[in-house]
Structure 1
């Protein structure tokens, strides 16, 4: 699963590619390492307009995962979209796209060494296909119950570049404006086929060994 990614593109580029009409994210500095439960930029629909905002990374966990726990750490990656837990959030009102410039998988062959992937050495902007919801839960005991806008992104089987490092999955990546539009606005029957790997040869290894992209 992908539990670490980076975003170094500016807000103007994110808004332009995702066609966001409003920016509610505040100042976004470069983020070379985004980890679970952190706040990160997301583009989603709100009050009838497409908004660049920030949300907390980690969707609500299914009930079975919370048995015996005092907190809900959240689910960062969503694979089984046929599950009843996820189906309630598959409508357009809960779809989002998550901007990134590189993502990390931990190489099981090399003592879980971080390996970074991107669309190119220059870290072009792309987007994960995501889901979001507003949810009340206890994320940390010291904070008690909080209500947060939460997000996670879809995964699928890995392509040729990712499979040797992480043979189970890779994020669902959207590289074209048309794909972003489809994910955010189309009926589910049209949008869900986007849950597929990038074509082989689309990704490059851009860094290794660091928990933040050194670009």
Structure 2
């Protein structure tokens, strides 16, 4: 089942700062992180080329399956044929640099933004996947069960936030090892505002 959630985040760092944080080559493009990122936005991702990590701009949202109209931005069902081929290829996994992400709270017409961050990590990463498309390459990121800080606001899911020690495992691990990383991030390490 594909579930839409977390359709707003920020990456308020420069391309050079992303490269340093993720041990990647500095990008040849300028990225200032001055805009909120919504589906269809161009955003930086980090991937491993086999010769080191690079920072590249990709469009957020996989082209939809035939029955859908909107881009698919979140990966919930890791066994789905829609995702399994991509997840099974380490060269199609990526890190999505994030400074905070948003979930909406309240009733329709009066919803407010609630921002989640990790104070000890000014920039962190969602576990992402990418694929080439006609035009810009596309990316999406994994979601999992929400932790206790996210669940009261969004009880269905939260993004898979990787621990720094898990970056290499996500980018190069076997399918089962990589999917095992799709767990809720510890809520005691997060804040919400």
Give the TM-score taking structure 2 as reference length: 0.89
1:2 maps to which residue? 6
Please state whether the residue corresponding to 1:128 is helix, strand or coil.
strand
Q: Indicate if the aligned counterparts of 1:18 and 1:43 stay in contact, CA closer than 8 A.
A: yes
Matched, 1:187 2:165: no
Task: Give the 3-state SS of the residue equivalent to 1:54 in structure 2.
Answer: strand
Unaligned segments of structure 1, at least 5 residues: 67-72, 137-146, 207-215
**Residues 22 and 8 of structure 1: CA distance in aligned 2, closer, same or farther (over 3 Å):** closer
- In structure 2, relative to structure 1, the CA distance for the partners of 1:123 and 1:5 (3 Å cut) is farther
Distance 2:181 2:190 in 1: 17
Q: Which has the larger radius of gyration?
A: 1
User: Would you say 1:132 and 2:130 are equivalent positions?
Assistant: yes
Q: Which is strand-richer, 1 or 2? A: 1
Q: For residues 17 and 88 of structure 1, what CA distance do their matches in structure 2 show?
A: 29
Supply the RMSD in Å over aligned alpha carbons.
Answer: 1.9
Deviation at 1:88, TM superposition (A): 1.2
TM-score, normalised by the number of residues in structure 1: 0.80
| Equivalenced residues, count | 187
Equivalent residue for 2:59, pick from 56, 59, 63: 56
1:40-119 map, 5 Å: 40-46=43-49, 48-66=51-69, 73-90=70-87, 91-108=89-106, 111-119=110-118
In the alignment, the residues of structure 2 paired with residue 49 and residue 62 of structure 1 have an alpha-carbon distance, to the nearest angstrom, of 32
Alignment of 1:21-40 (within 5 A): 21-24=25-28, 26-40=29-43
Contact preservation (8 Å) 1:118, 1:205: yes
User: How far is the alpha carbon of 1:109 from its aligned partner?
Assistant: 5.2
CA distance in 1, matches of 2:106, 2:75: 21
1:165 is the counterpart of 2:162: no
